[in-house]
Structure 1
Amino acid sequence: MKKDIKNICVKYLMNEANAQELENLEAWLKKGKNKETFATYIKINYAMDVNMNPFDKETAKKEYLERIWKDKRSHKKLRRIKTFSYAAASIVVLIAASFWFTKMGNTIIEPQFTEPIIVNNQIQTGTDKATLTLENGEQIALTKGASFQTQNATSNGEEIVYITANSQQPIVKDSVSHNTLTIPRGGQFQLTLTDGTQVWLNSESQLKYPVVFNKGETRQVELVYGEAYFDVSPSNNHKGADFKVYHKQQEVQVLGTEFNIKAYKDETNVYTTLVEGKVSVTTGSKTKILLPAQQSNLDIVVNSLGIANVEVYDIVSWKEGIFSFERKPLKEIMTTLSRWYDMDVIFANKDLETIRFMGSLNKGQNIVDVLNDIKNFGVINTYEINNKTITLK
């Protein structure tokens, strides 16, 4: 490791690196095996520090969490934060220290790993793909690299854009036609509605929406299931018309803002996270107002609706090509990854399900690299891949 890069690494760990140094570190981490070198450097130096000083796991975790939290807060624009994913993916070694190192007197013990077994790996990295269902029931496969056009919309295989409402003639309410965009496991897609609202749809999601909105009336779409990020066109651009997102369990009303809704079919909670602006979340007779960096949690089982402050980046980074996990149980993490990689996960050791993990993973990585990262961080001992099934041990 070159001396200048080593100095930048030290500054990064001390939260003293400036913007230029962070850019240099990012560029260096993208080349060859530098990420592995960086991770090894951290492990060696961290181990030395543990040997020389009394080790308190909880205090160490807290310090590292606060350090990364401050680093994220210093780069408020989500799209700029994305560029630091390489460093974040390596720095997770620090957070995983409680797995890598066990203090027994003055001895540091590293877990012994077993080589993974890979048989006919059929797991593919997710990509841009969706199924568009037209108003007449016709279904069209949208895939990356393939263009498509209808009277109302065009697609380049990564997103579908509808003709702006300004070019449409006034329409009768009863004549409004709807399209449905369905994202399968292993997919993602973007959508621009006729009012200019942008929507990012995550894997295993479905959105129903009008081909064109009635001018001056409430703009309504339905998140049937899954996860979606909305960047809503302001109401003052549409004669004051507000925007509503329906789900069978709740209604979100906005005037113009950015927010994320997570409502998967196999989960008993619906999460709405506000990035900018203000929204109201209503379910039954309950209504909550969200402010930026707040999240509502609708528990479907007990019909409760609560609000908590959250780290927005960890929740919405998926749309920027990053999975960011902040002390999430491994079972929850693997559920997220299983949707993106369209795979099944088995825990041979059920105790692994509750182990918490913090770090960032690039959505462009193949599954073997992802699992090796998790294994190298000491979270699991080994894994097996057989066709499209992963077994964690």
Structure 2
Amino acid sequence: MEFSLIIKKINNTLSEKEALEFDLWYSESEKHRTYFEKVKNNKDSEEYIFNKEKNWSSIEDKIKTTKKTNWKYYAASIALLFSISYFYNPIDKIEKTSEVIVNPVDSNKAILTLSDGKEVILSKEDTVENLIFKREGKNIAYKSSTKSEKPNLGQKVKEIEYNILTTNTGGEFSLTLEDGTKIWLNSESKLKYPVSFTKGTTREVELIYGEAYFEVSSSRNNSGDGFRVLNSLQNVSVLGTYFNIKAYPEDNEIITTLIEGKVFVENKIGEKVYLKPNGQTILNMSTLKIQQKEVEAKEEISWVRGYFNFKNLQLTEITKVLSRWYDVDISIQNKEIENLRFNGVLNKKQDIEFVLEAITNTSNITYEIKDKNIKLRK
């Protein structure tokens, strides 16, 4: 049953056919009835039980005005909206078992490896002194005064110093480069970047693996110098724009999505694809072939704003996202539920049991937690 029917029941807008479906679900078990009453009576229900179309429109408007919006506050107001598509016949559920509750993650943990090999552990409580950057919360900001000038002819070129920022499972961090470019690094990601750029050369960083969202400082503000994101299998070149790159090795693909501006993606065999806003390329890591399609780009960067956006996403893909964020190992015990597709907006600050409850209460899936291992089964 779709979660939307619960919303319609509360709002007394069920059709006759929908009412029959809801009544069947409601009468199946005490667990269903308890869940419905919990949703209905939640004091904050107005914050997360709402019209889907209205909410998506609201989210879109908020994303369009990113720079003026307090996204932490907005994301915190979203709990979860879930619906599900079935590919098998409903059956009776068995009760979940849970030995250990997995707590919310520390979302600000990262490791900064300096050019001299020194490692700095970054978290909310840490302070970093005597370094060339300013650290505030989960953001690193480099001083523009460190920018290198273009060397004169005959002058010995100073070797470029690189730092590496690595986020662990369940961690994320943001970085402001000395040219003003802003980068958000998702969990399980690694970014290599120079301490300072040299005038007259292309500004380059390397997304070694993982996912990152870039707001690139315009070339007009940087002596006309372009900006390039390197990867072992592809390069993305820009002048000044907003885009997202997702390159987890286990996915066997690199997804590049353009939000604003213009970029071109080039694979390692020289094939180039130009992207316009809402354009996306998918590079197959095995064949290096590039596919291109149109998407709702703003939905691809929802993770930056504090929530996950599951839009017609298979359960197998959702488990990857949750595993990276909550630092757990999730296994699907039955092949017939792997193709279940979900739609939902998920606040990243919710604990994982909240997410699992939402899934099990709108489907015929149960879960079992033991330490950091979670099993999903029908």
Query: What residue number does 1:319 align with?
Result: 304
Q: Does 1:128 find its partner at 2:84? A: no
Matched-pair contact (CA < 8 Å) for 1:121–1:385 = yes
Which of 195, 198, 210 is the aligned partner of 1:226?
210
Q: Does 1:143 find its partner at 2:123? A: yes
Matched-pair contact (CA < 8 Å) for 2:78–2:346 = no
Change in Cα spacing, 1:287 to 1:173, as seen in structure 2 (3 Å) is: farther
Query: What residue number does 1:294 align with?
Result: 279
Pairs within 5 Å for 1:1-393: 40-43=6-9, 45=12, 48-51=15-18, 73=60, 77=64, 79=66, 83=74, 89-90=80-81, 92=82, 95-96=83-84, 98-99=85-86, 112-165=92-145, 173-283=157-267, 284-378=269-363, 380-393=364-377
Post-superposition offset of 1:381: 2.4
Change in Cα spacing, 1:39 to 1:137, as seen in structure 2 (3 Å) is: farther
In 1, the alpha carbon distance for the partners of 2:204 and 2:326 equals: 31
Structure 1 unaligned residues grouped into runs of 5+: 1-35, 55-63, 103-109
Query: What residue number does 1:106 align with?
Result: none
Post-superposition offset of 1:307: 1.0
Change in Cα spacing, 1:279 to 1:167, as seen in structure 2 (3 Å) is: closer
Which has the larger helix fraction?
Answer: 1
In 2, the alpha carbon distance for the partners of 1:81 and 1:112 equals: 44
In 1, the alpha carbon distance for the partners of 2:149 and 2:288 equals: 42
User: What TM-score do you get using the length of structure 2 for normalisation?
Assistant: 0.80
In 2, the alpha carbon distance for the partners of 1:220 and 1:43 equals: 54
Change in Cα spacing, 1:246 to 1:165, as seen in structure 2 (3 Å) is: farther
Post-superposition offset of 1:314: 2.4
In 2, the alpha carbon distance for the partners of 1:186 and 1:85 equals: 17
Post-superposition offset of 1:377: 2.0
Matched-pair contact (CA < 8 Å) for 2:60–2:298 = no
Post-superposition offset of 1:150: 3.7
- Counterpart of 1:351, as a letter, is E
Matched-pair contact (CA < 8 Å) for 1:146–1:156 = no
Query: What residue number does 1:10 align with?
Result: none
In 1, the alpha carbon distance for the partners of 2:96 and 2:236 equals: 45
- Counterpart of 1:222, as a letter, is E
User: What TM-score do you get using the length of structure 1 for normalisation?
Assistant: 0.77
Structure 2 unaligned residues grouped into runs of 5+: 22-50
Post-superposition offset of 1:121: 2.9
Post-superposition offset of 1:351: 1.5
In 2, the alpha carbon distance for the partners of 1:187 and 1:346 equals: 21
In 2, the alpha carbon distance for the partners of 1:310 and 1:362 equals: 22
How many corresponding residue pairs? 337
Post-superposition offset of 1:376: 1.7
Post-superposition offset of 1:161: 1.1
Matched-pair contact (CA < 8 Å) for 1:183–1:206 = yes
SS at match of 1:141: strand
Matched-pair contact (CA < 8 Å) for 1:183–1:201 = yes
